[in-house]
Structure formats: C-alpha cells, structure tokens
Amino acid sequence: MAQKTSSQRGLHPASDRPITRDYVCVSDVSKTYQTPRNETIEALSHVSLTLTTGEFLSVVGPSGCGKSTLLKCIAGLSAPTSGLITVNGRPVKEPPPKMGIVFQRDILLDWLNIVDNVLLPIRYTRGHNPETARQSAMRLLDTIGLAGFEHNHPWELSGGMRQRVAICRSLLLEPDLLLMDEPFGALDALTRDELNLVLQRIWLRDEKSVLFITHSIQEAVFLSDRVVVMSPGPGRILEMLEIDLPRPRELEIRETPEFGRYSSHIRALLERHGAFRR
C-alpha cells in the first residue's frame, strides 16, 4: 500500500518500492485504430504497468500519446488490440465492478439537481437502498465542500463545483479503483490547486487505488506515489518514477528543491523524446 509519510530522498527507480499486491496489471498492451480512410493509427505500443492496492499513480505525457486510450482500456470501455489487462486478478472484458470514473467533462444532467446527479449510479445497479444511498450522497457533498448546494442544478454552479459533483458521483458506490481522465484540465489554476488538495484528502482517507491522467507535470508530482511518463504517440512508457515526498502535501511543497528535481527530470525526459517540438 502507498505510504503516507516518507523521508525526502533523491530520485530513484520505482522498482525499489516494497512489494505489494497489484490491483491493476497492464501487460504488453498495444492499441490500433482504423481511420475512415482505412489508415491504421497506433495509439499504444507494448505498454506494461501495475497499479498497487491503495496507490496513487499518475500518467503524464503530451497530447495524442495514448493516455486516455490506456484509461479506457483499463475501464473496459475499449479493448486492446493485443496484450492483457487484469483488475483485481480478473481479465478486463467489460467495466470492472467496484470502479469509479471521472472524465474531463463533468457530464452532469442539467435537469436534475445536484444530489440526484450524484445518485445516478444507483439507477443502473441493483441492490442499493435509495434512502441509504441518499444519505451517502449528502455525506459526500459535505466532504467535498458542497453542503447546501444539493438542491441546486448544474447550470447554477461553477466549473470547479460541477467537477466536485462528478467526483462525488464516482465515489457513491465506494469503488476500490478510481480512474480519472484529466478531471481538472479545463479548470483555472486556483480551482485546480484547490481540487488537488481535496482529492489528496479523500485519497488519504479512503486509500483507493487511483489512476490519474494529466498533462500537468506539477500536478502529477504533487498528487502521486509514482508517475508514468509516456512518449509522444504511439504511446509507450519512457520511465516510471517514484515520488518520494512526505504526505500530506501542501501546495508550498512545489517550491522545494526536491519537488523541482522531480518536475525537471520529467520535463527533460519528455523534451529529449520530442514532446515539446515547435
């Protein structure tokens, strides 16, 4: 399980981590698409990684490197062309049980109020007591700072508040695995910082396994136990880097030399592989 405190050591390979149970295993996965012009596009090339139980793992890389494709394959929303993905020991052929997912767009229904948007998952799953689920939704809204807004509608909320609702919805059924596809990418910098802190607090409390997709190097370093760095497309893994910084992390940690070394290392790696070509 991901450790919540650690000493501030230098850069070192993620392979030095203590052995823990792998919750998600991606083994030699490739993914190709056919375009309408019958051209073959390779999105992922021989990708292998693991996400351990209770770990926060970020995937960072340039646009078009296959980050979102990888997440969709793990989520059972798209099948890999080759290779194997397992979640909790089972091959992924459909969306795994006990999984929550958050996209860059909040995908809220404007005609439902906030609490009913959070409750949407119980409409499509069996065995849930509606009143118990409503109580859980209210607790989640309180935890994430939206108490008092439960009867508002999405169109009355800011972008950051809407994304909080989407996070609550993903947590309603208490998933063991949380997949997040650039959830804060469309938000302003201040709101993004605030939601980074909110997400860290929830993760430290619940110890879920989190796969987080982002373009932001700083965000990846701030949130993660490990960062997977991907090449420009076709996406392949350049490096898996352990982030050995103490938790809980405050925003000020981004000004420390240790944080700067991680960020600079990732940026230099991406630059060497052509991620910042003009």
177-206 pLDDT per residue, tens: 999 999 999 899 999 999 999 999 999 999
Task: Give Cα 177 to chain centroid, integer Å.
Answer: 10
| pLDDT class of 17 with cuts at 50, 70, 90 | very low
* Mean pLDDT in residue range 129-145: 93
Q: What's the mean pLDDT when you consider all of the chain?
A: 91
pLDDT of 5: 42
Domain for residue 264, yes or no? yes
- Do 219 and 235 fall within a single domain? yes
Look up the CATH number of the domain holding residue 237.
3.40.50.300
> Is the previous residue joined to 234 through a cis bond, with omega within 30 degrees of 0?
yes
Same domain, 75 and 144: no
Range of the domain at 114: 106-174
Q: Are residues 196 and 274 in the same domain?
A: yes
DSSP code, position 188? -
Q: Which parts of the chain are beta strand (E)?
A: 22-34, 40-52, 56-60, 82-87, 90-91, 99-102, 177-181, 209-214, 226-230, 237-242
Residues 70 and 191 both lie in one domain:
yes
pLDDT at 19 over 70: no
Same domain, 241 and 114: no
In whole angstroms, how far apart are CA 271 and each of 98, 238, 262, 265, 274?
37, 12, 14, 10, 5
Q: How many Cβ atoms sit within 10 Å of the Cβ of residue 62?
A: 18
Please tell me the number of Cα atoms within 13 Å of 120 on its side-chain side: 18
**Six-digit token string for 98:** 């006990």
Give me the helix-helix angle, 130-143 and 159-171, nearest 10°: 140
Q: Is residue 87 part of a domain?
A: no
Residue 187 in any domain: the answer is: yes
Would residue 44 count as lying in a domain? no
SS (H, E, C) 8-72: CCCCCEHHHCCCCCEEEEEEEEEEEEECCCCCEEEEEEEEEEEEECCCEEEEECCCCCCHHHHHH
Residue 210 has pLDDT above 80, yes or no: yes
How do strand 177-181 and strand 99-102 relate by DSSP bridges?
parallel
Query: 114, 145, 174: which is the final residue of a domain?
Result: 174
Q: Return d(Cα 49, Cα 166) in angstroms, integer.
A: 27
Split into its structural domains, the chain has a count of 2
Residues 186 and 170 grouped into a single domain: no
> Would you say residue 158 lies in a domain?
yes
Q: Do 74 and 112 lie in a common domain?
A: no
Would residue 40 count as lying in a domain? no
- Res. 277 pLDDT band, cuts 50 70 90: low
Q: Cβ distance 54 to 204 under 8 Å?
A: no
Instruction: Tell me: do 112 and 249 sit in the same domain.
Output: no
| Residue 275, helix vs strand vs coil | coil
Residue that has been written with the tokens 């049980």 in this structure: 97
From 174, 201, 231, the end of a domain falls on: 174
User: Does residue 41 lie in a domain region?
Assistant: no
Q: Are 63 and 11 contained in the same domain?
A: yes
68 and 189 both lie in a single domain: yes
Residue 31 in any domain: the answer is no
Q: Are 140 and 274 in a shared domain?
A: no
**pLDDT tens column, 22-75:** 999 999 999 999 888 888 999 999 999 999 999 999 999 999 899 999 999 999
* Count, residues in the chain: 278
Domain edge (last residue) among 141, 174, 207: 174
On whether both 242 and 167 belong to a single domain, the answer is no
CB 275 within 8 A of CB 233: no
